[in-house]
């Protein structure tokens, strides 16, 4: 029997354009079912795709603070989420539930 070699999948490697990043975030928000940490992790994936250091600078955070906010055990503040979304060049939009 031959062994199958696998590699770790990293979504950040596949987020190349702003449109792909926006679509990924939208899909994660839809699937999150109210889990703020899941959405924060999605923002972290996008930030890694764009470059954590640059996003941290643009958001006015240290790279360590950004990583802790997006991958930590606690949900980041909404203020931090808004800073990161803005630094990523994205925006949050609202729709009615029956959309």
Kindly report, residue by residue over 14-46, the tens digit of the pLDDT: 999 999 999 999 999 999 998 889 999 999 999
The residue range of the domain holding 32 is: 17-87
Residue 3 lies in a domain: no
**What pTM value is reported for the model?**
0.87
Q: Is the dihedral of CA 50, 70, 78, 58 positive or negative?
A: negative
Cβ–Cβ < 8 Å for 80, 69: yes
User: Among candidates 86, 19, 11, 93, which has minimal Cα distance to 45?
Assistant: 11
Residue 56 lies in a domain: yes
Residue 31 lies in a domain: yes
Residue 98, pLDDT score? 76
Which tokens belong to 23? 């679509």
Pick the residue with more confidence: 26 or 94? 26
Helix, strand, or coil (residue 76): coil
pLDDT, tens digit, 9 for 90 and up, residues 57-69: 999 999 999 999 9
Cβ–Cβ < 8 Å for 82, 74: no
How many domains in the chain? 1
- With cut-offs at 50, 70 and 90, classify the pLDDT of residue 1: confident
Residue 90 in this model has a pLDDT that exceeds 80 = yes
Residue 99, pLDDT score? 59
Residue 38 lies in a domain: yes
């Amino acid at each position: 029997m031959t062994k199958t070699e696998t590699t770790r999948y990293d979504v950040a490697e596949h987020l190349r354009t702003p449109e792909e990043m926006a679509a990924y975030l939208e899909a994660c928000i839809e699937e999150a079912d109210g889990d703020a940490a899941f959405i924060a992790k999605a923002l972290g994936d996008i930030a890694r795709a764009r470059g954590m250091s640059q996003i941290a600078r643009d958001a006015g955070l240290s790279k360590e603070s950004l990583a802790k906010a997006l991958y930590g055990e606690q949900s980041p503040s909404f203020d931090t989420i808004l800073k990161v979304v803005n630094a990523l060049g994205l925006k949050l939009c609202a729709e009615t539930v029956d959309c």
